[in-house]
Structure 1
Amino acid sequence: MNYKIEKWEREYLRDYAKKQLEIANLPIMQERIKRWYDHNENKKGKPMIVIELASFKDDVRIPLKTQSDFARNIESAIQNNIQIHELFDDDEVCPDSISFGWDIKYREFGVDIPVKKSKDALGREIGFEYQHPLNDLEQDFHILKPFTYTVDRSNSFARLEAAKDIVGDILKVEMENGFQRWGNMITQKVIQLIGMEKWMIAMIETPEIVHKLMDYLTSNLISYQQWLQDEGLLTMNNGNHYAGAGSRGFTHELKKPADGHIRLKDLWVNVNSQESTGISPEMYKEFVFPYIDRVAKEYGMVYYGCCEAVHPTWDTCLKDLSNLRKVSISPWCDEQFMGERLRGTKIIYSRKPSPHFLGVGYDFDDDEYKKYMLNTLNAAKGCNLEIIYRDVYTLGGNPSKAKRAVRLLRELIDKYWE
């Protein structure tokens, strides 16, 4: 990429960066930082609230003013940080920084997986279908190859320095390796390769080949992350970093080593298995859990889950996941059951409310919403609770619903949370 930008773009970005810094320096941000540290370290306090912007950003998008690609990258990052504060007033902390990833060429499987996409009425490509490269797992397994990866340090640092030259005296400009966010979804990769139906049939007809596939994926994923560690490409995620499905990483329990060489066990990792909801808890324990646990053992703290219900597999094995600190309580989860299981433990109840209150229709149903969220507060009583709104793909033309949802929830917390 060409990192040169126009003079007027530079001036505009510097002014925009100053606006982000003003928000980051608000007293409320320091209060939130303390609350996040206390929350993640299981000190008693009020539940944390997050609304994730990414899935409905098109609803509130402000047209970018800059023209060059690099300037637009910086502008978009700053805009995102500012909008979260202005639109939601949730417990997100506006950072005093922007970040860039390493320029890594990463190829899985040794085969391509074409994706067939479908557009909705607004032209968004939300629906998709993988064109699976494996037709018969046993016969086609030989086409799978070790993962390959290389890093272009020169370009990575050139991009970082170019950004520092533009806004580095206003905002911190940092390198961030985000693989721990969504890179370890093993069963998602299974479905990419062979598809849901064939995977489920294979578990019955050729279980040894399924274990071979799960081991292949897990071993290659761990090898890649150990390469990141050995190459010095890991970055800490124990501060204002995305850690888990929508949550934040603030904790003093994970520390950067004194020698500066960051290890996997110094970090959070996010893992899940949404694709295994259709199999029994016993099959999950046999075919899925051991491989997720191998990844979890490499890390310091683990966030488990996304949209899948966790209560069916909790007693069977999930409660024993290594280094587990947070578990996702999705709309399909038995809240009461999980409240009973998590009460008195150090595992955080990470609630994902149904997105339909924000995502369906123009109007916001205050009464139904309050009843729904009060059920969560009652179910999670005695637990360490956070509430994260994710997978909201539209606000129905009414952006004010997001801030209203936060305000009403805070009122309920003030009234009913002990």
Structure 2
Amino acid sequence: MFSSHDRDRLRKLAQQQLEIHNSPVNQARIALWKRHNAFRGTRPMIHIELDTFADELIPARLECESPDARRLETELLQKTINLTEFDDDWVVPDYFGVEWEQWFRPFGWDVRTETAEDANGNRLGHCFVPVIEELEQDEDKLRPSDFGVDKEATRRHMELAQEAFGDILPVKMIMSSPPVVLTQQIVHLMGMENMYIAMMDDPERFAAMMDRLAEDYLRFFAYLAENDCLYPTTGFELLRQGSLCFTEELPSTRPASVKEIWGFMDSQETVSVSPQMFHELIFPSYKKVADAFGLLSYGCCEPVSAVWDDVSTLTNLRKVSISPWCDEVFMGEQLRGRKTVFHRKPSPNFLGLTGTLDEAAIREHFDHTLQAARGCTLEFTQRDVYTVQKDPARVRRYVQLLREEIETHWQG
């Protein structure tokens, strides 16, 4: 049970979310997303990902007192701040979504890290403590992966939301696109150096390890399906790498298998690997998992242009990340006229560095993308910004600059 103060605060935010959902601007942008994801859009879509700088904006707005209420309050605020403060194209749903609390432990191991701190106790970074160092001697450590769902914790969270404001804002179970990042899991267990050495010294065992991990993820998805833990990914649900799932290509009823949902994959950890080595040791296991999804979003910060020969063969690929390290011109040539979104991730430096915005440099950066992606279906997601100097107006101006450049220079 919540205090009357906390309950009133949550109900007020729930009512505000419903009103914002029904607002003309939100409804118009929902329609834009649907056309965009169907490759019938009229302009590029824009999203500023809040996650990495949320601590600068959300805590100061919290008014609830209990931890459970503050968690719900935070989730409600995060649903609307993009539209109300940034004026990007992120849209507000007419429900409060709850996702299963689940876990996947690769080969049954917990990830161990060591963290450095400065004189003030602030974390500066971390390194992974290897569980597996050499594949031949540690082969017995490649046990079946452990996974599951904490239904009790999930249902408690859902019941708290329902009790607080479910009569105002419907509460329902949802799911985001499942992320499968095989090489990240390997790095977490081996460390980067050990992984690279294993790829060179013991490629057959390395490829076999990758395949076993891919098979474990497929078993995990089968477990989710058997336990009624799969939900549609056809609307407001998060599509990994900062996008939305709106689509008519997948069923909007409860999916029977992972083949009926969006998925996400990337391989940032192999940026130093040659395209040939990626093709031989990495891509086969990636393709095995990718083919299991109905639709796929691929890539993060890695330059996908370097391994496009492989990635381009994924027939369910609908969005591909064009990071600051990617060859934009090349990818524009490859995606022009193709039903795969040129999902641009601009450099975070322009928004995240201290001082005033360098508007001329920002416009030039955007214009390069608008030129490279002409004739493509283009989407911008600004990620990896860790500070906006606690100033949402700074973000709003950044979005305005992008809208102006799109209006002036976009050739769809």
Q: Which TM class, normalised by the smaller chain length? A: over 0.9
Q: C-alpha offsets along residues 306-359 of structure 1, whole Å, 9 cap, x if unaligned?
A: 0000111113x1110241001000000110010001001111100000000001
1:278 aligns with 2:275: no
1:383 aligns with 2:381: no
Which whole-Å CA distance do the structure 1 matches of 2:75 and 2:297 have between them?
25
**Equivalent residue for 2:127, pick from 126, 129, 150:** 129
Q: Once the 2 structures are TM-superposed, how far is the Cα of residue 45 of structure 1 from its aligned partner?
A: 1.2
1:202 aligns with 2:198: yes
1:289 aligns with 2:320: no
Shift in alpha-carbon separation, 1:154–1:204, aligned structure 2, 3 A? closer
SS, match of residue 250 in structure 2: coil
Q: Once the 2 structures are TM-superposed, how far is the Cα of residue 244 of structure 1 from its aligned partner?
A: 2.6
Structure 1 unaligned segments of length 5 or more: list them: none
1:170 aligns with 2:163: no
Shift in alpha-carbon separation, 1:163–1:399, aligned structure 2, 3 A? closer
Q: Once the 2 structures are TM-superposed, how far is the Cα of residue 69 of structure 1 from its aligned partner?
A: 2.1
Written as runs of structure 1 = structure 2, the 5 A alignment for 1:37-186 is 37-63=34-60, 64-104=62-102, 106-119=104-117, 125=123, 127-178=125-176, 180-182=177-179, 184-186=180-182
Which whole-Å CA distance do the structure 2 matches of 1:318 and 1:72 have between them?
42
Structure 1 contact 311–338 (Cα < 8 Å) conserved: yes
Structure 1 contact 352–387 (Cα < 8 Å) conserved: yes
1:320 aligns with 2:313: yes
Shift in alpha-carbon separation, 1:357–1:68, aligned structure 2, 3 A? same
Structure 2 unaligned segments of length 5 or more: list them: none
Shift in alpha-carbon separation, 1:282–1:176, aligned structure 2, 3 A? same
Which whole-Å CA distance do the structure 1 matches of 2:55 and 2:149 have between them?
32
Q: C-alpha offsets along residues 197-223 of structure 1, whole Å, 9 cap, x if unaligned?
A: 221121121111101110121111111
Written as runs of structure 1 = structure 2, the 5 A alignment for 1:217-228 is 217-228=213-224
Of 80-89 and 246-255, more deviation after overlay is shown by 80-89
Identity of aligned residues (%): 39
Q: Once the 2 structures are TM-superposed, how far is the Cα of residue 96 of structure 1 from its aligned partner?
A: 2.0
Q: Once the 2 structures are TM-superposed, how far is the Cα of residue 154 of structure 1 from its aligned partner?
A: 4.6
Structure 1 contact 357–369 (Cα < 8 Å) conserved: yes
Root-mean-square deviation (CA, aligned residues, Å) is: 1.8
Q: Once the 2 structures are TM-superposed, how far is the Cα of residue 161 of structure 1 from its aligned partner?
A: 2.6
Which whole-Å CA distance do the structure 1 matches of 2:342 and 2:118 have between them?
34
Structure 2 residue identity aligned to 1:338 = M
Structure 1 contact 109–145 (Cα < 8 Å) conserved: yes
Which whole-Å CA distance do the structure 2 matches of 1:341 and 1:123 have between them?
47
Which whole-Å CA distance do the structure 1 matches of 2:115 and 2:81 have between them?
29
> Normalization by structure 2: what TM-score?
0.95
Structure 2 contact 131–190 (Cα < 8 Å) conserved: yes
Q: Once the 2 structures are TM-superposed, how far is the Cα of residue 360 of structure 1 from its aligned partner?
A: 0.6
Q: Once the 2 structures are TM-superposed, how far is the Cα of residue 120 of structure 1 from its aligned partner?
A: 6.6
Q: Once the 2 structures are TM-superposed, how far is the Cα of residue 397 of structure 1 from its aligned partner?
A: 4.6
Which whole-Å CA distance do the structure 2 matches of 1:121 and 1:357 have between them?
29
Q: C-alpha offsets along residues 377-404 of structure 1, whole Å, 9 cap, x if unaligned?
A: 0000000000000000111354322111
Determine the structure 2 residue equivalent to 1:10.
Answer: 7
Structure 1 contact 284–313 (Cα < 8 Å) conserved: yes
Determine the structure 2 residue equivalent to 1:400.
Answer: 393
Number of residue pairs matched by the alignment: 410
Q: Once the 2 structures are TM-superposed, how far is the Cα of residue 374 of structure 1 from its aligned partner?
A: 0.4
Shift in alpha-carbon separation, 1:310–1:295, aligned structure 2, 3 A? same
Structure 2 contact 111–189 (Cα < 8 Å) conserved: yes
Structure 2 residue identity aligned to 1:109 = F
Which whole-Å CA distance do the structure 2 matches of 1:417 and 1:101 have between them?
37
**Equivalent residue for 2:346, pick from 350, 353, 356:** 353
Shift in alpha-carbon separation, 1:346–1:364, aligned structure 2, 3 A? same
> Normalization by structure 1: what TM-score?
0.93
Which whole-Å CA distance do the structure 2 matches of 1:263 and 1:390 have between them?
30
Q: C-alpha offsets along residues 55-87 of structure 1, whole Å, 9 cap, x if unaligned?
A: 011222333221222211110101112222222
Which whole-Å CA distance do the structure 1 matches of 2:260 and 2:50 have between them?
28
